Structure 1
Amino acid sequence: MSLLLIHSRLATTGMLYSAAVGLWALYLAFRKRDLDANFWGALAINEIIFIVEAVLGVTMWAQGLRPGRLIHILYGIVAIITIPSAFAFTRGRGTRREALIYGALCLFLAGVAIRAATTAGL
């Protein structure tokens, strides 16, 4: 299996997983429930998916494979820094307000993953 195929499939996984985690966070917010350890674990997995995706992208770049448009790299950077930035902004709290923030951000990340796929050009 080529790195390109793995990178592509992992991008799809990141998009779907981010959407699922985002909907979960919004569900918790609308049920007026705080974020629990299960959610934090899912959010960590979401971040790991995007980090692995970036490592594969850097490896492909080193092998001479380039995206169709360089903005693809910006989308990758945004995907990596969004969750840690939100965690720092919310100071690690897990109230209903933070559930809304993480819900919106994870849905945003799903959109970023879709946009990154459209700029890959491969």
Structure 2
Amino acid sequence: MTDFLNLPFVEVLKLLVRGSVEAYLSEKEASASTAAEAAKPECESLDMNGALAFLNANGYPIKRGQLYKETSKGTIPFQKFGSKLHFRKSELLQWAEARLIDGNAIGVLVSTAQKGGKR
């Protein structure tokens, strides 16, 4: 700790101002980084696992095989990046809501699988 009694007034004033400015700047830096993290938008794009988790968490139960089948038939909106499938949250919600059964069955998706085969 600095002995302020043995320093000239100007030096004491410099030390006090420097300390105050450093404290203010570090406080502003901390609040700016917190605000930047809070303002960071959530990612809209999901991979296959994220799409499955997102649909199931929002009340639309679907299995991995059914999701792959919907992509191969082109009935679900998706994009490919290389060999990976990517989905947008907003498009997934619109797709799932459009396929809900009317009535009291909330959150049940209409099955598009065909039963049986050629006979």
TM-score (norm 2): 0.25
Q: Which structure has more strand as a fraction of its residues?
A: 2
- Could you say which structure has the larger radius of gyration? 2
Higher relative contact order (CA 8 A, sep 6+): 1
Q: Which structure has more helix as a fraction of its residues?
A: 1
TM-score (norm 1): 0.25
